[in-house]
Amino acid sequence: MPKFYLGGFTLKKICSFIVKDMVFFILLVSFAAAWQPLWFTWIGSKIPWLLGIVMLGMGMTLKVENFCAIWQHPRNVCIGFIAQFIIMPTVAFGLVKLFQLPAELAVGVILVGTSPGATASNVITYWLKEMLPYLYLFLWLLRYLLL
């Protein structure tokens, strides 16, 4: 296998460093952006690329064996579907009623509550060392079965 060098570092070393410390960097940047938002205004147009890098980094941690384990426990995917289509919308609706939100905000909260996961859920799953392949299969099924 050929080695790719970038400034004296192999691509494998760079990628393993990113994967190993990704959660730390995400939290660090999040706190810095909350503290000094003006420092990060330039980044708005680059967010899709940065999210892609985060997703690639998490994907690099996966192995074929992880996906084989999914088929041994299909019940977990069923639980995810139930949570997505029953529990999440019910909780969102309950929050709308509890806080008596105006119609505009209520629609937004319910839409977010019924939307399949996004990058944040992937990062939290990765951070908690849960089964990322379950999340990816579940999100794939949701997106393509709902079309």
Which residue type does 114 have?
T
Q: Which residues contact 117 (CB under 8 A, 6 or more apart)?
A: 135, 138, 139
pLDDT for 54? 72
pLDDT for 3? 55
Can you give the pTM of this predicted structure?
0.50
User: Same domain for 99 and 111?
Assistant: yes
Domain span at 143: 63-147
Q: Please report, for residues 57, 77, 78, the alpha-carbon distance to residue 74 in angstroms, rounded to integers and kept in the order given.
A: 26, 5, 7
In the chain, where do the E strands start and end? 5-6, 9-10
User: Same domain for 106 and 93?
Assistant: yes
User: Same domain for 56 and 69?
Assistant: no
User: Pick from 61, 80, 96: which residue ends a domain?
Assistant: 61
User: Same domain for 53 and 88?
Assistant: no
Question: How many structural domains are present in the chain?
Answer: 2
User: Same domain for 67 and 129?
Assistant: yes
Q: pLDDT tens track of the chain, all 147 residues?
A: 455 555 556 767 776 776 677 677 778 888 998 899 898 888 888 888 877 777 777 777 777 777 777 777 778 777 777 877 788 889 889 999 999 999 999 998 888 887 766 555 666 666 666 666 777 777 777 767 666
Structure tokens at 42: 């330039």
Structure tokens at 146: 């709902």
User: Same domain for 132 and 67?
Assistant: yes
